[in-house]
């Protein structure tokens, strides 16, 4: 048996922090990498729809990350 129980508020908080810490860098990288495309796409034919889809995807990823970041939250 482990000397530290893997249940309770402390473990939940550590799990939340670990998950958010692991998922935040890829999300930030994707957001920063999409900035040039989001700046240029609206000026190209059909680009406004692609830019809108990119923004919706980034918003979805952010909301999922925030949902996981809540104690007891699920994606």
Q: Model's pTM, two decimal places? A: 0.64
Give the per-residue pLDDT at 18. Answer: 82
Average pLDDT, integer, range 18-40 = 86
Q: Is residue 63 part of a domain?
A: yes
Tens of pLDDT, residues 31-72: 898 889 888 988 989 888 998 999 999 899 888 887 876 655
For position 26, what pLDDT does the model report? 87
Cα(first)–Cα(last) distance of the chain, in Å?
A: 30
Provide the 3-class DSSP secondary structure of residue 58.
Answer: helix
71 torsion bin: left (phi>0), alpha (psi -120 to 50), beta (else): beta
* Overall size of the chain counted in residues: 75
Domain coverage including residue 53:
38-70
Split into its structural domains, the chain has a count of 1
Domain membership of residue 33 (yes or no) is no
pLDDT surpasses 50 at 10: yes
* Neighbouring residues of 23: CB distance < 8 A, sequence distance ≥ 6: 65, 68
pLDDT at 60: 92
């Amino acid at each position: 048996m482990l000397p530290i129980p893997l249940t309770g508020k402390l473990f939940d908080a550590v799990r939340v922090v670990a998950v958010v810490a692991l998922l935040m860098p890829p999300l930030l990288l994707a957001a920063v990498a999409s900035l040039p495309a989001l700046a240029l796409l609206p000026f190209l034919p059909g680009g406004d729809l692609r830019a809108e889809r990119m923004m919706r995807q980034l918003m979805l990823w952010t909301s999922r990350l925030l949902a996981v970041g809540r104690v007891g939250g699920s994606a």
